[in-house]
Structure 1
Amino acid sequence: MTYQEPIHDIAQLAMVELFTPKYDESLRFFTDFLGMYKHAEDEHSAYLRAYEDRYHHSLKLTRRDQAGVGAISWRAMSPQALDRRVAAIESSGRPGRWVEGHKGYGRAYEFTTPDGHVNHLFWEVEYFHPTESQRSRLLSRAQKRPLSGVPVRRLDHINIMASDVTANARFFEDLLGFKKRENVIFGGTQELACWLSVSPLAHEIALTKDQMGPGNRLHHVAFWYGNQGQMLDIADLFAEYGVHVEAGPAKHGITQGYFMYLYEPGGNRIELFGDTGYLIFDPEWKTVTWTEDNFWSEGGVWFGGDLPQDFFIYGTPLIEAAQKATTRETEAAQ
């Protein structure tokens, strides 16, 4: 078997844009509960970052009539790497365009997945420079740990919903160099979800089958704690202040991540990630496949409680079919 030379042109998931119809409430959620720092704001958006994020922002929160995801932004490994990936996308039959004028990073190449999710790829970036009062005594930490809520440490990953998981995953693999670390296949052929990364992390992006929609939707955005105890602290705050937790704290079998899912006020699902899960250093890693025989008993949740059925249906923006399914499940549970 011929070993395919890996592509190491994408460095990291750098920033995610979320749309919210409840801008003020969403902004308070991310700053008051998750301790994110509002680095900048204009008439349309707030630019937030966790205290170990090193760039201008990791979350762009934008006013819109419906919740959902805007641009998913990736940093290239170098200017040359950026050029190589742009050339690959241009030759794929799905060319994008160069865009400028975005806060936090320079000229970027904008492209879409087969389902239409907007992505930006860039090299030039604006680093965060703390004031003296924000400066951490830890030289390796971007900013002093905030005093608000239970502060998350960094952006971790994003999960997008796809009409065809395999086709959209192939786009990331073939054109951008992502590796498929785990997946779920039912019936021997239908790929329902997969987890991909360009680093030793088990995933920076995941794809979930959109059972109720056209695919161009958001499943969740995740922020990292790295400490399971902090997950319990924030769960206590959510209970105290009436924030509904969808699932967790618990542990996934897939990616082995300690998790909690909830909804920010605008309606987007947020995951809080309590540890790294596992790291991948094997260059010949083979995709781990879960099936209907083991997914429900071991894959979805390793311990800590089941995922609700709504977890596999709900995404943003909301669509009528998904809303009806969610309502039926809620009424059945009452």
Structure 2
Amino acid sequence: MAMTGVLRPGHAVVRVLDLEESVRFYTEVMGLKETGRDASGRVYFKTHAEHDHSSFVIRKASTAGMDCFGFKVLDAATLDRLEGRLREHGVATERRPAGDMLDTGERVRFQIPTGHIIELYADKTRIGNGLGFVNPEVWFPDFKGINPVRMDHSLLYGTDLDGSRRLFEEVFGFSLTERALLEDGQTDLAVFLTCSTKAHDIAFVRHAEPDKLHHVSFLLQSWEQVLRAADILSMNRVSIDIGPTRHGITHGATIYFFDPSGNRLETFAGGYDYYPDMHPITWTWDEVGAAIFYHDRKLNERFLTVVT
């Protein structure tokens, strides 16, 4: 476990086809708070409960998908140490200067074996959740939309799953919580990794193409809020992939849906707490349907194949 190194997922930068349509979706339907726009055209958001300036960023592009996924680390010394470990591992790194992203400090950027761009950073402006630190209320009554607690994790599809797993375990100290096997009973189809006490902070699925986004996930507080999210999505005629339902992997209650550009998102609640003395859970090929969708115990073909 790496609670004194990599703290948590910090931001996802996602490409959209129509910027203003996407801004409306993420503010009115998702209930995120816009926190700024930069000269390059990126729009920044946070959930109402998050304290840092932004956790989700969009930019207009000709294709949907994800530019990068960032993790916040403990401090500048940790950033330097982890960059050194990456280089020892044979991974080329690039430093992006402070201010290159709004209210974000210097970032270490690199490509992992599945083809995705990952970033590490130590500093992001804390703007708070508006409730303060002395005798705060528990929430604002005037929120919009789904109103998630935080941007929680991402699931990424790519070619060299084994290489990305080794990097996160050996360089950053992530722990394997769960895995799903292919038909040979040996090869990983999917791995779920954590740097905290969550069931996962990032996950990977083996795929024929590199650098694909399956989904970015946002946490809700209860199963009832997942049902409410489904109501809001239906009211707004949002394309729902599957759910509400429950995962066997991580035990989370979930609903998957698409933003206006076709990027898949998840809102979920629940999931177990992880501690480093726990044993990883393995799902065999014959039960992979129950691993993903525990109630009907079968896979949705779109869930397996549609990525951006």
**TM above 0.5:** yes
Distance 2:3 2:50 in 1: 25
Deviation at 1:40, TM superposition (A): 0.6
- Equivalent residues of 1:136, 1:145 under 8 A apart: no
Superposed CA deviations along residues 216-235 of structure 1, whole A, max 9, x for unmatched, are 11010000111111111121
Deviation at 1:93, TM superposition (A): 1.5
Give matches, 1:50-69, under 5 Å. 50-69=47-66
1:148 to 125, 140, 144: 144
Q: Is structure 2 residue 114 aligned with structure 1 residue 115? A: yes
What is the root-mean-square deviation in Å for CA atoms of aligned residues? 2.1
Distance 2:229 2:246 in 1: 16
Deviation at 1:119, TM superposition (A): 1.3
Specify whether residues 182 and 89 from structure 1 end up closer, same or farther in structure 2 by C-alpha distance, changes over 3 A only.
same
Distance 2:137 2:112 in 1: 34
Could you tell me which residue of structure 2 aligns to residue 70 of structure 1? 67
Specify whether residues 15 and 311 from structure 1 end up closer, same or farther in structure 2 by C-alpha distance, changes over 3 A only.
same
Taking every aligned residue pair, what percent have the same amino acid on both sides? 25
Alignment: residue pair count? 304
- Equivalent residues of 2:158, 2:210 under 8 A apart: yes
Superposed CA deviations along residues 27-60 of structure 1, whole A, max 9, x for unmatched, are 1111111111001123511100101111001101
SS at 2:294's partner residue? Answer: coil
Specify whether residues 304 and 39 from structure 1 end up closer, same or farther in structure 2 by C-alpha distance, changes over 3 A only.
farther
1:279 to 270, 273, 277: 273
Superposed CA deviations along residues 47-86 of structure 1, whole A, max 9, x for unmatched, are 0010111100110111111111112111112222222111
Superposed CA deviations along residues 1-29 of structure 1, whole A, max 9, x for unmatched, are xxxx9784111111111111122222111
Amino acid at match of 2:168: F
Could you tell me which residue of structure 2 aligns to residue 125 of structure 1? 124
TM score, norm. by length of structure 1: 0.85
Deviation at 1:265, TM superposition (A): 0.3
SS at 1:90's partner residue? Answer: helix
Q: Is structure 2 residue 189 aligned with structure 1 residue 192? A: yes
Q: Is structure 2 residue 303 aligned with structure 1 residue 311? A: yes
Amino acid at match of 1:288: I
Distance 2:199 2:62 in 1: 34
Could you tell me which residue of structure 2 aligns to residue 262 of structure 1? 257
Could you tell me which residue of structure 2 aligns to residue 35 of structure 1? 31
2:171 to 171, 175, 194: 175
Could you tell me which residue of structure 2 aligns to residue 227 of structure 1? 222
Specify whether residues 141 and 294 from structure 1 end up closer, same or farther in structure 2 by C-alpha distance, changes over 3 A only.
farther
- Equivalent residues of 1:25, 1:266 under 8 A apart: no
Deviation at 1:146, TM superposition (A): 4.3
Distance 1:142 1:29 in 2: 25
Could you tell me which residue of structure 1 aligns to residue 281 of structure 2? 288
Specify whether residues 304 and 292 from structure 1 end up closer, same or farther in structure 2 by C-alpha distance, changes over 3 A only.
closer
SS at 1:115's partner residue? Answer: coil
Distance 2:10 2:89 in 1: 24
Specify whether residues 34 and 22 from structure 1 end up closer, same or farther in structure 2 by C-alpha distance, changes over 3 A only.
same
TM score, norm. by length of structure 2: 0.92
Distance 1:13 1:59 in 2: 11
Distance 2:135 2:87 in 1: 41
Gapped runs of 5+ residues in structure 2? none
Superposed CA deviations along residues 179-205 of structure 1, whole A, max 9, x for unmatched, are 111001121222110100000101010
- Equivalent residues of 1:15, 1:59 under 8 A apart: yes
Deviation at 1:285, TM superposition (A): 2.2
Distance 1:215 1:261 in 2: 22
Could you tell me which residue of structure 1 aligns to residue 12 of structure 2? 16
Deviation at 1:121, TM superposition (A): 0.8
SS at 1:176's partner residue? Answer: coil
- Range moving further from structure 2, 103-112 or 251-260: 103-112
Amino acid at match of 1:62: R
Amino acid at match of 1:303: H
